[in-house]
Amino acid sequence: MSGLGDAIDQPTREMSAIELPTPNGDAPVESSMVASLRARAALLRQARSVDLPIPGYGGELVGRYRAINLAKYNKVGADGFTNPLTEWHLAADALATALLGIYGREVEGGPLLPFFNDQVARYDDDLVQALALEPTEHTARGVLVALCGGGEDGEWAVWRHFIAYQAWLEEEPAQEVADRAVGEHFPAS
């Protein structure tokens, strides 16, 4: 007995979109879903860092940052709940943690070059020496404030710099990278 009944009893196997043959028998047809996911994967690979101009340097000095999970910087204490969006010092700490390096331009609009030839530039004493900064404390936070002009103006500039970083984190590809960082192991503070 052959017919519809026999066809119904036959085992079936679904073919993925990648396996679907083309009408002329050439390479498999790539589905729009696969193409879309491939493009998305490329975006995620590119969203691992962002270059942000450091306030006060007209785009000639740039910090390169990676995506981190900012939940680490939320604090509950006697004064209530604080976070980098409301406290400049937490914003500075987050930026120092996320920093991959500091870069500069020799000419306006020129390519970004490493600040130091032999090491990665960070918010540290090497940067203090190179730029003759005068931080009130020799911590990454203090160096970043001094780099941004020092005093209350420097604190305000650090917070504005953080807001630009946080805006990048909210962009969809960077958001996904930061979300993956939720599982990072952080030492107790």
DSSP 126-162: HHHHHHT---SSSSHHHHHHHHTTSHHHHHHHHHHHH
User: 73 with 83: CB under 8 angstroms?
Assistant: yes
Range of the domain at 153: 50-183
Residue 29 lies in a domain: no
pLDDT-derived band at 189, boundaries 50, 70, 90: very low
As beta bridge partners, residue 80 has 77
23 inside domain = no
Residue 26 within a domain? no
Q: How far is 72 from 187, CA to CA, in rounded Å? A: 10
Task: With a cut of 50, say whether residue 188 has pLDDT above it.
Answer: no
Of 21-25, 58-62, 112-116, where does mean pLDDT reach its minimum? 21-25
126 occurs within a structural domain: yes
pLDDT of residue 186: 43
- Residue 148 near residue 161, CB atoms below 8 Å: yes
Residue 19 lies in a domain: no
Structural domains counted in the chain: 1
Q: Which of 36-40, 79-83, 108-112, 145-149 has the highest mean pLDDT?
A: 145-149
How far is it, in rounded angstroms, from Cα 146 to Cα 155? 9
Residue 184 CA to residue 181 CA, distance in Å, equals: 5
In this prediction, residues 153-161 reach a mean pLDDT of 95
Do the domain assignments include residue 79? yes
In the prediction, which pLDDT does 140 show?
A: 96
Each residue of 100-141: pLDDT tens digit? 999 999 888 889 999 999 999 999 999 999 999 999 999 999
Please say whether the dihedral angle defined by the alpha carbons of residues 165, 142, 55 and 125, taken in this order, is positive or negative.
negative
Q: Which amino acid is at 10?
A: Q
Q: Is residue 173, in this structure, part of any structural domain at all? A: yes
Distance CA 27, CA 75 (A): 56
**3-class secondary structure, 106:** coil
